Amino acid sequence: MIIILKRTTTQEEKNQLIENIKTMGLTVKDAGSEERMVLGLIGDTAKIDITHMQAHHNVEKVMKVQEPFKLASRAFHPKNSILKIEGHEIGGGNLTIIAGPCSVESREQILTIAQSVKAAGAHILRGGAFKPRTSPYSFQGLGEKGLKLLKEAKELTGLPIITEAMSTEDFDLVESYTDIIQIGARNMQNFSLLKKAGKAKKPIMLKRGMSATIEEFLMSAEYIMASGNSQIVLCERGIRTFENYTRNTLDLATVIAVKELSHLPIIIDPSHATGKWHMVEPMSRAAVAVGADGIMVEVHNNPEKALSDGQQSLKPERFEKLVVSVGKVSDAIKDMVNYNGN
């Protein structure tokens, strides 16, 4: 439920109304902006007599939020959320490029790739230290050693880093090293992990599960926000369909839907979505064209010998070409929007 207050409402009157609502066992979020004063009510809102609340002298309008995800809903938070990561902003019209290897394999490998993606224009470095693999016999990552190498790469390049936390057991360790904590597709509905992420001080990147609906995707974000962490960026990485030519099916309509339903920024992972390196650049351009706030791309200096996902990794020179290409699309879209706006 949302309560829109009249512009004449004083801060003291708003605080008093909030306290009265809290006595009913509800949580109240101040979702206002400079343009209007808005209160978001979370909990059993059946306790609220809408007619009675509408009659309050400070209330302009009372609205029910139909979506089950309240905090992630655009109704609660009309303005787009922006994540600030060490001077860089994700969302707000910015194009964020995240790049790096699927897995941290060695010091030479991660430092070489970090320097190349930095030079090409990446804003954030990705790399897996703990790797959830389909096969128990596949490379599982270097663990804390990988985290230390990522930190060294950050010190060398200045790029903030993102890496995945696989469980509640390794979460605190990952948080102590990284700037953004990734919750992978296989853990999108690991509710214990989501609640743990909700208590984190670091931003969270939440990947869509391979068989999840958009509502389920946003409800997982709601789990994190309900536990106290509103610093979330969503990531569409393809869903599982009957098609097997590509690794997954990239659902670009998700970007449009999320922009309509939620205020959270959303990026695209074309590497995992397609599983084929030659498709990554075209799908990156398409993602930017439909309004994605960024892309996350796998880059490897020697994909043929990569310990994981070499077939979908770009070589540094191809990544450099991609950055230029998506930048042109982004500029063209901005020019089109500005033209239509005039």
Look up the CATH number of the domain holding residue 92. 3.20.20.70
Domain identity same for 208 and 243: yes
| Residue 342 clears pLDDT 80, i.e. is over it | no
Domain identity same for 220 and 255: yes
Q: What is the CATH number of the domain that holds 37?
A: 3.30.70.1140
Domain identity same for 12 and 147: no
Q: Give the structural domain span for 251.
A: 83-341
Domain identity same for 37 and 92: no
| Residue 22 clears pLDDT 80, i.e. is over it | yes
In a domain, 246, yes or no: yes
Domain identity same for 235 and 118: yes
In a domain, 255, yes or no: yes
In a domain, 125, yes or no: yes
| Residue 167 clears pLDDT 80, i.e. is over it | yes
In a domain, 75, yes or no: no
Split into its structural domains, the chain has a count of 2
Token pair in block for residue 251: 């659902």
Domain identity same for 134 and 15: no
Domain identity same for 115 and 193: yes
| Residue 201 clears pLDDT 60, i.e. is over it | yes
Q: What percentage of the chain exceeds 70 in pLDDT? A: 95
In a domain, 74, yes or no: no
In a domain, 214, yes or no: yes
DSSP-derived secondary structure for 203-262: -EEEEPPTT--HHHHHHHHHHHHHTT---EEEEE--B--S--SSSSB--THHHHHHHHHB
Contact 75, 65 (CB under 8 A): yes
What pLDDT is stored for residue 339 in this prediction? Answer: 66
In a domain, 15, yes or no: yes
Domain identity same for 91 and 57: no
Residue 27 pLDDT level (bands cut at 50, 70, 90):
confident
In a domain, 238, yes or no: yes
Residues in Cβ contact with 55 at an 8 Å cutoff, skipping those fewer than 6 apart: none
